Structure 1
Amino acid sequence: MTDIRIEIVSDMVCPWCWVGKRRLDRAMAERPDLEVERVWRAYMLNPDMPPQGVPRDAYLGAKFGAEKLGRLHEPLVAIGGDEGIPFDFQAIAKMPSSLNAHRLVRWARTAGVQAPLVEDLFDRYFARGEDIGDPAVLVEAAGAAGMDTTIVAELLAGDGDVELVRKEDTLARQIGIQGVPTFIINGKWAVVGAEPTEHWRQLLARVAAGEDLAAGE
């Protein structure tokens, strides 16, 4: 029986989502006595991104200003080092659409490989600079996670679950989620942002003890 269920509202093009996952991973690894079910939910930071994506520097320059680009990722690189995350933002040429990646993550749940697939997608994008909007890259990631690549390729060539991903993204916004990562615990409590591992240690202990997280939060 699952002790704790955590729905992770996330986007694979969000570096803080990788940080948040790693911090939760560490806290979970310290509690092998707990059965924690994680379910990834779609949230698209760029829902209107064209399927082919856009040049990343141009996108970030337009969003944050060209003069800030050089310093934009310095804090994340430092934090990533603490978490064992090898961020290489210089390797990333494209800001991709994450729609197809979210479709693949949905299918990965059926195969029971959501967590390793999500980790691999983060690594491919942020550490290796791969285009995770490219179906060929996604098929390769699916194979690495143990999924049937023939079936995945056929599904990606169609529009299966496109509307479901978009509806999930819309629902997240309708219930008040404005940024990611957001973690929903047992359908009751939300943790917003990439909280430190110590915070997760305390939360897991409190939930396991049957405490109401709303009291004292």
Structure 2
Amino acid sequence: MKKTSIEIDIYSDPICPWCYIGLKRFQKAQAQRPHFDVKARWLTFQLNPDMPDEGMDRQAYLDKKFGGRANATQFYSQIAAAGLTDGINFKFEQIKKTPNTVEAHRLSLLAREQNKQDQVMERLFESYFLEGKNIGERDVLLTIATETDLTGAESYLDSDQGHEDVLFTDQNARSLGLTGVPCFIVNRQHILPGAQSPDTLAQMLDIGFQQQNEEK
């Protein structure tokens, strides 16, 4: 059977735990529709667009965002429970700094040029949420680039390439009314917000499949 190409734009941020859960559920949805040719494009959305370049101490960030450790613990315990159902054992306690994610998004752009964006995004999620690494640091990003066989990452990160693209995509998402991630857009028309269930995401792929066939 000839595969049908379906374009899925995914707005996300690699420090968003629901985006990591959304990735796992999206992978399960793809497994339910193995005869579909799904082309995912990861797009920038910053959870913290005003984050200092150097990031922020994790506890200070949680205190500012949630008004105290108790509220933060309750919030993340719910996410941890959801993650376990999708095979993610979040290690929130290992995270020492909440980073600025512009550089991580730039690395994702480089990966898209080399058709390795899915792999890089997954490693960004794993590095932050499972290994507690600061994905705002250049050395961490270069390690991810090496692990995913990206070429030219060092010179790319040393340049300004992709920086304006990252900021523009983030600002454009907000101008379109996007307030949270993940958000999936099918063939640049149908919007599905949130980390939906694999079954719901599979139905999203069905919509894309039907649309592509109607346009033939």
* TM-score, L = length of structure 1: 0.92
Q: Could you say which residue in structure 2 is the equivalent of 1:215?
A: none
3-state SS of 1:159 partner: coil
Q: Could you say which residue in structure 2 is the equivalent of 1:80?
A: 83
Preserved contact between residue 5 and residue 186 of structure 1 (Cα < 8 Å): yes
Question: Relative to structure 2, which stretch is displaced further, 41-50 or 97-106?
Answer: 41-50
Per the TM alignment, residue 155 of structure 1 is displaced from its structure 2 partner at its CA by 1.6
Q: Could you say which residue in structure 1 is the equivalent of 2:40?
A: 38
Amino acid at match of 2:187: N
Preserved contact between residue 4 and residue 185 of structure 1 (Cα < 8 Å): yes
In 2: Cα distance, 1:70 partner to 1:192 partner: 25
Q: Could you say which residue in structure 2 is the equivalent of 1:47?
A: 49
Q: Could you say which residue in structure 1 is the equivalent of 2:169?
A: 168
In 2: Cα distance, 1:50 partner to 1:203 partner: 36
Root mean square deviation of aligned Cα: 1.4
Paired residue for 1:147, among 138, 145, 150? 150
In 2: Cα distance, 1:3 partner to 1:186 partner: 10
In 2: Cα distance, 1:159 partner to 1:173 partner: 23
Per the TM alignment, residue 69 of structure 1 is displaced from its structure 2 partner at its CA by 2.4
1:94 aligns with 2:128: no
Amino acid at match of 1:183: F
Preserved contact between residue 98 and residue 133 of structure 1 (Cα < 8 Å): yes
In 2: Cα distance, 1:209 partner to 1:167 partner: 31
In 2: Cα distance, 1:210 partner to 1:43 partner: 27
Preserved contact between residue 5 and residue 185 of structure 1 (Cα < 8 Å): yes
Preserved contact between residue 186 and residue 204 of structure 2 (Cα < 8 Å): no
Unmatched 5+ stretches in structure 2: none
In 2: Cα distance, 1:199 partner to 1:35 partner: 18
In 2: Cα distance, 1:140 partner to 1:89 partner: 21
1:129 aligns with 2:132: yes
In 2: Cα distance, 1:55 partner to 1:156 partner: 23
Q: Could you say which residue in structure 2 is the equivalent of 1:159?
A: 160
Q: Could you say which residue in structure 2 is the equivalent of 1:21?
A: 23
Preserved contact between residue 2 and residue 37 of structure 1 (Cα < 8 Å): no
In 1: Cα distance, 2:75 partner to 2:193 partner: 22
In 1: Cα distance, 2:201 partner to 2:47 partner: 24
Unmatched 5+ stretches in structure 1: 212-217
Q: Could you say which residue in structure 2 is the equivalent of 1:112?
A: 115
Per the TM alignment, residue 90 of structure 1 is displaced from its structure 2 partner at its CA by 0.2
Per the TM alignment, residue 176 of structure 1 is displaced from its structure 2 partner at its CA by 1.2
Q: Could you say which residue in structure 2 is the equivalent of 1:180?
A: 181
Matched positions, count: 209
Q: Could you say which residue in structure 1 is the equivalent of 2:192?
A: 191
3-state SS of 2:36 partner: coil
| Percentage identity across paired residues of the two chains | 37
